[in-house]
Amino acid sequence: MLPKIRHCEDAYTREGLPTLFQLSDVPELRSLDRALADSRYKRIDPSLVLTVGRDELPPTSGRQFEVLEIDSWLNVYCHLSGMPKTAARLQKLVLKSIPHDAIYGAIKSSAGHVACGLAVIDDEFIGLFDILTHPNYRRHGHARQLILNLMHHGSKNGVHTGYLQVAKDNKPALELYKHIGYQSLYQSWYRIRQGLETRSVESA
Ligand SMILES: CC(C)(COP(=O)(O)OP(=O)(O)OC[C@H]1O[C@@H](n2cnc3c(N)ncnc32)[C@H](O)[C@@H]1OP(=O)(O)O)[C@@H](O)C(=O)NCCC(=O)NCCS
């Protein structure tokens, strides 16, 4: 196991990056997680992967759901999140590299756009990302309607399961997804350690 870890570290170090492993609680990854812990890798960003069956979703309401073009959606996302427009350019490159169909959705109220998020469709699966409601308009059911509309809109062609990833300590989001019917499938986390210089010093 250790030589394989070292091999990964060398690859990251060549790129000038700290080594990062993504793990989950499937039994097959237990020994890797232990080996990384023994090599002083820190566990960070614990999250849950949740799923829901398409047939388990409640119906949508007639709330103002819109499907936007990527540029308009990024404008809405910047407005709701406070993300600078310069960062949106990078975000656009990331979104454009998604190798599947994506639906860019938003909820518009009389106050303008109040919530946005996107769905990615991969065969029978539909994943949700970047779900966000403006802080001034939370607890009005906007995210719930956004998600249900994205799910119903995207679930037309053989999609049967929705999934998403959420930080374990994000209580509002966890409550939201539970409220809609999502259930925990597995846990995920990263293990990180600084570059090879640290390793050389420690193992000297
Ligand atoms: C999580 C988030 C999207 C919820 O948006 P929202 O529009 O306020 O959610 P809704 O009003 O649709 O909530 C629907 C239900 O979810 C649950 N819920 C939502 N926020 C909650 C909170 N802060 N505390 C407890 N329950 C909450 C409730 O059951 C709520 O129903 P209720 O208000 O009738 O009790 C919003 O808090 C947000 O934008 N957070 C920052 C971004 C984020 O964390 N996104 C998720 C990434 S995975």
Predicted pLDDT at 194: 59
pLDDT of residue 158: 84
Q: Is residue 78 located within the same domain as residue 15?
A: no
53 lies in some domain: no
Does residue 176 sit in the same domain as residue 195? no
Which CATH number do you get for residue 112? Answer: 3.40.630.30
Looking at the whole model, is its pTM more than 0.85?
yes
User: Is 139 in the same domain as 69?
Assistant: yes
Q: Are residues 168 and 145 in the same domain?
A: yes
The answer to whether 127 and 109 are in contact (CB under 8 A) is no
Asked whether residue 71 falls in the same domain as residue 130, the answer is yes
Residue length of the chain: 204
63 and 42 in a common domain:
no
Place of tokens 């938003």: 106
Q: Are residues 30 and 77 in the same domain?
A: no
Instruction: For residue 39, give the DSSP letter.
Output: T
In which domain, by residue range, is 17 found? 2-46+188-203
In angstroms, what is the span from residue 64 Cα to ligand 1's centroid? 18
DSSP 58: P
Token pair of 199 as six digits: 């390793």
Q: Is the CB of 135 under 6 A from ligand 1?
A: no
Task: Say how many Å lie between the CA of residue 144 and the centre of ligand 1.
Answer: 8
Residue 61, pLDDT score: 76
Task: State the 10-residue block means of pLDDT for the chain, 204 residues long.
Answer: 95 94 96 95 97 92 88 97 93 94 96 97 96 97 96 86 97 98 97 60 31
CA dihedral 78, 182, 62, 73 (to 10 degrees): 20
Whether 63 is covered by a domain: the verdict is: yes
Cα–Cα distance between 67 and 156 in angstroms, integer?
Answer: 15
Give the pLDDT score at 197.
41
| Ligand 1 pocket, residue 149 CB under 6 Å | no
Instruction: Report the pLDDT value the prediction gives residue 62, as an integer from 0 to 100.
Output: 66
Asked if residue 64 and residue 38 are part of one domain, the reply reads no
Under a CB-based contact definition with an 8 Å cutoff, are residues 107 and 142 in contact?
A: yes
What angle, rounded to 10 degrees, do the helices at 171-180 and 142-154 form?
50
101 in any annotated domain: yes
Cβ density class 124-149: b for 16+ within 10 Å, e for less: eebbbeebbbbeebeeebbbbbbbbb
Q: What is the DSSP letter of 141?
A: S
pLDDT of residue 59: 86
Check pocket membership of 118 for ligand 1, CB cut-off 6 A: no
CA of 204 to the centre of ligand 1 (A): 50
Task: Give how many domains the chain has, as a whole number.
Answer: 2
Closest to 5 in 3D by CA, of 45, 46, 23: 23
* Residue 201 confidence (pLDDT): 32
Q: Whose C-alpha lies nearest to ligand 1, atom 28?
A: 176
Same domain, 108 and 130: yes
Contact indicator for 196, 8 with CB cutoff of 8 Å: no
| Ligand 1 contacts CB of residue 47 (under 6 A) | no
Tell me whether residue 152 is in a domain: yes
Q: Is the CB of 138 under 6 A from ligand 1?
A: yes
Distance 117 CA to ligand 1 centre (A): 13
Contact 150, 136 (CB under 8 A): no
- Note whether 121 and 154 are within 8 A (CB): yes
**Which pLDDT value is given to residue 198?**
41
